[in-house]
Amino acid sequence: MRVMLIRPPAKHTVESEVPEAVSAENLSYPPLALMAIAQVLKDHSDFEVTILDAQLDDLEYDVLEQKVREWKPDVVGVTAFTVQLVDVLKTVQTAKRAGARFAVVGGPHVSDFPRECVGLPGVDAVVKGEGQKPMLDLCNAWAKGETPKGIPGTMCHPDDPIPEQDVYFSNSLDEYPIIDRTLVDYRRYYDVMGKGGIFTTLISSRGCPYRCTFCNTPRHRYRVMQPGRVCDEIQACLDLGIQEFYFVDDTFNITNQRVIDLCDEIIRRGQKLQWTVRFRVKGVTRELLEKMKAAGCQRIQFGVEQGTEEGLLRLKKDVTVREIESAFRLCREVGINTVAYFMIGTPVERSRDDVMDTIAYSIKLDPDFVMFNVLTPFPGTTLYDEGERDGVLDVTPWMEFMRAPREDFKAQVWDEHFTRAELREMLDLAYKRFYWRPKFVVRNITQIQSPKDFMRKATAGFRMLVA
């Protein structure tokens, strides 16, 4: 049995209200979920397994078809995000045309819309939740010439019952196998905000107990990996020359003690690395940040979203403006870079002045980088349900797209107070006002680490100027 796991091309992503200058310089992440599945298949079967990252080389579909035809997989597994559903379907159909017998789709989209996804032409099965164990079971059944039935976490027909529970490879994250980064061309992944070293992602916990109204991240049970197991994986990466790491945990600092224990283990082992995490501002202390800095933390990403108490309450962020400002101040004092994420066009922004206040607040916080996005609620989130209830959003176009993806589909924005064009104009303005301040330009020039770093940031800056 030959299994090819594919990250589909990004040719037809649902139109996003993010400037091309920003999306073009987005982080280049390795396909961590596919790598985790591949590792389990290799460790627990005799299957031949390969990963094809079609985004890394921006593959055209004729090239994708040629690669599938040459490798001749029996099974293809495709990872799916809702905004890339057109490319997911095209990838499945391309793989089938190239000779693949079975196509499995998994990922965040399937967790929200398993019935619609398994009904797409060419899809033989979908996996809801974590894919390691279900993918292994599906491939084992097909290898024996059996029709998969009743495999936990899977659906093979629209009439099958939707799995109620996610299936875990193990209840303990410590038992998950260490991922071999050589499953992909690991030296080619990079972080545009980093220092130009070889870059990878890793995970030390799963799940998030918080319930922000705009978030559609699947809600797995919260589990953590012990510090020793995390550091074992870090060491395997360091041995390959990987220098920069991004922990893609849903929320890294559910408890401060867990973070401190991991930092202590990194320091005890003498591991030298640079790493980034996604944080909540609640609970950030100087002691915590100093420990993280000593262990190699270079950057923290904070989901700020709004700069008013009303906005934070509306989004159920469970933080205050005072806590936000304290976290950013402490990071500056300790010497950890920050990234702030903001939303434009939220329900509490009722006038242009309100949006300008959000932009002004981002400048007041003065993070090292900022990311603005127009609020785009997704079906299945609390905010979308509220918008549908109030007549601001209509779920019908979304559901039609799920059942029959089309290239001209545009995701709905919260247009209660602004048109899409007005929101886009204010988004472009937000980026230019933040990034073309003399203070920001001078600070980034002084932080250039290498010629490669200079070229990457200079290119991004030029694109922003002409956007």
Residue 171's pLDDT band, with cuts at 50, 70 and 90, is confident
Same-domain check for residues 293 and 436? yes
Residue 458 has a pLDDT of 46
Can you tell me the distance from the alpha carbon of 175 to that of 206, in angstroms, rounded to the nearest whole number?
Answer: 14
Q: Which amino acid is at 403?
A: R
What mean pLDDT comes out for the span 418-428?
A: 93
Can you tell me the distance from the alpha carbon of 123 to that of 58, in angstroms, rounded to the nearest whole number?
Answer: 23
Is residue 21 over pLDDT 60? no
In this predicted model, what pLDDT tens digit does every residue of 66-79 receive, in sequence order? 999 999 999 999 99
Q: Which domain holds residue 122?
A: 2-155
- Residue 301 lies inside a defined structural domain of this protein: yes
Q: Is the dihedral of CA 363, 364, 365, 368 positive or negative?
A: positive
- Residue 321 lies inside a defined structural domain of this protein: yes
Is residue 242 over pLDDT 80? yes
Residue 217's pLDDT band, with cuts at 50, 70 and 90, is low
Same-domain check for residues 252 and 312? yes
Same-domain check for residues 125 and 222? no
Give the 3-state secondary structure percentages of the chain, helix then strand then coil, rounded to 5: 45, 15, 40
Residue 245 has a pLDDT of 96
Residue 449's pLDDT band, with cuts at 50, 70 and 90, is low
Bigger pLDDT: 26 vs 420: 420
- Residue 161 lies inside a defined structural domain of this protein: no
Same-domain check for residues 143 and 8? yes
- Residue 147 lies inside a defined structural domain of this protein: yes
The last residue of one of the domains, among 129, 155, 181, is 155
Same-domain check for residues 196 and 341? yes
Cβ contact 348:314 at 8 Å: yes
Same-domain check for residues 218 and 101? no
Can you give the CATH number for the domain in which 10 is found? Answer: 3.40.50.280
Percentage of the chain exceeding pLDDT 70: 91
Can you tell me the distance from the alpha carbon of 107 to that of 390, in angstroms, rounded to the nearest whole number?
Answer: 30
Is residue 24 over pLDDT 50? no
- Strand-strand pairing, 223-224 and 205-206: antiparallel
What mean pLDDT comes out for the span 261-275?
A: 97
Query: What average pLDDT does the chain have?
Result: 89
- Residue 343 lies inside a defined structural domain of this protein: yes
What does the block give as tokens for 190? 């990079």
Residue 372 has a pLDDT of 93
Residue 25 has a pLDDT of 43
What mean pLDDT comes out for the span 7-14?
A: 90
Is residue 456 over pLDDT 70? no
Can you tell me the distance from the alpha carbon of 181 to that of 321, in angstroms, rounded to the nearest whole number?
Answer: 40
Same-domain check for residues 204 and 149? no
What mean pLDDT comes out for the span 151-177?
A: 92
Lowest mean pLDDT among 200-214, 222-236, 307-321, 439-453: 439-453
Residue 378's pLDDT band, with cuts at 50, 70 and 90, is confident
- Count of domains in the chain? 2
User: pTM of the full predicted structure?
Assistant: 0.91
The last residue of one of the domains, among 109, 134, 155, is 155
- Residue 394 lies inside a defined structural domain of this protein: no
Cβ contact 144:429 at 8 Å: no
- Residue 170 lies inside a defined structural domain of this protein: no
Same-domain check for residues 436 and 312? yes
Same-domain check for residues 246 and 345? yes
- Residue 399 lies inside a defined structural domain of this protein: no
Can you give the CATH number for the domain in which 431 is found? Answer: 3.20.20.70
Residue 201 host element (H or E): strand 199-202
Same-domain check for residues 204 and 69? no
Give the contacts of 132 (CB within 8 A, at least 6 positions apart): 36, 37, 40, 169, 176
What mean pLDDT comes out for the span 208-214?
A: 75
What mean pLDDT comes out for the span 36-62?
A: 96
What mean pLDDT comes out for the span 3-18?
A: 83
Residue 116 has a pLDDT of 96
Residue 452's pLDDT band, with cuts at 50, 70 and 90, is low
Same-domain check for residues 143 and 227? no
Same-domain check for residues 59 and 197? no
